[in-house]
Amino acid sequence: EPEVTQTPSHQVTQMGQEVILRCVPISNHLYFYWYRQILGQKVEFLVSFYNNEISEKSEIFDDQFSVERPDGSNFTLKIRSTKLEDSAMYFCASSENNQPQHFGDGTRLSIL
Amino acid sequence: QKEVEQDPGPLSVPEGAIVSLNCTYSNSAFQYFMWYRQYSRKGPELLMYTYSSGNKEDGRFTAQVDKSSKYISLFIRDSQPSDSATYLCAMSGGGGSNYKLTFGKGTLLTVNP
């Protein structure tokens, strides 16, 4: 069964550094999403992306964050100038039109 | 009032029991309702997907949506130890299921052999 794949599974970064989290969505899906889950808290929406542009973003998704689909298969989340509170699991998801979202296994981001 | 409320448990049941998991919500714009299962250190895995009110059954799993009460449920029959996981309810609004998902906090379920 096709799946969303995310790399790396664990990323450790010094505070203030930039990180790029990578995702390969399911191949025929057109809608892409990033969510995060801080330890012990709910899964929270960050951003959705369709037709090469952001379709919606949350209050969390400020100028520190950006997304990109650099080629036909990858979808990336860049976090600039990381802060301690950016430590979380980051999940990528994808979907077909009006179909449920399918999630990857996440990248655990640890900011030191 | 939180948009989606879900009792975090933990819930512990013997193998073979019927499990009932529930969420309430406040946003009447929600129309798409999902249940995801999340094993430790894994991503949410889609279990059930329903639109608007009604019931949907898939094997041992039944999802119910009551929009008038803003209440959704997931029933697991003949529960197995492999069902031990965190169960997340999620919902999205009138923009369709391509719209952002709002999650409950998740209920941790343990099924004891």
- pLDDT per residue as tens digits for the range B57-74: 999 999 999 999 999 999
- Averaged pLDDT, A97-102: 90
- CA dihedral in degrees (A5, A64, B3, B91; nearest 10)? -30
Alpha-carbon distance A36 to A62, whole Å?
Answer: 14
- Averaged pLDDT, A59-77: 93
pLDDT, one tens digit per residue, over A7-44 is: 999 999 999 999 999 999 999 899 999 999 999 899 99
- Chain B residues with CB under 8 Å of a chain A CB are 32, 34, 36, 41-46, 49, 88, 90, 96-106
The answer to whether residues B60 and B48 touch, using CB atoms and an 8 Å cutoff, is no
Write phi, then psi, for A9 (nearest 5 degrees): -75, -30
Higher pLDDT, B79 or A2: B79
Say which residues have a Cβ less than 8 Å from residue A93's Cβ, sequence separation at least 6.
A4, A25, A32, A33, A34, A35, A101, A102, A103, A104
Look at chain B and count its residues.
113
**Which tokens is B40 given?**
């430790």
H and E: helices and strands count for chain A: 0, 11
| Interface contact flag, A48 B98, Cβ < 8 Å | yes
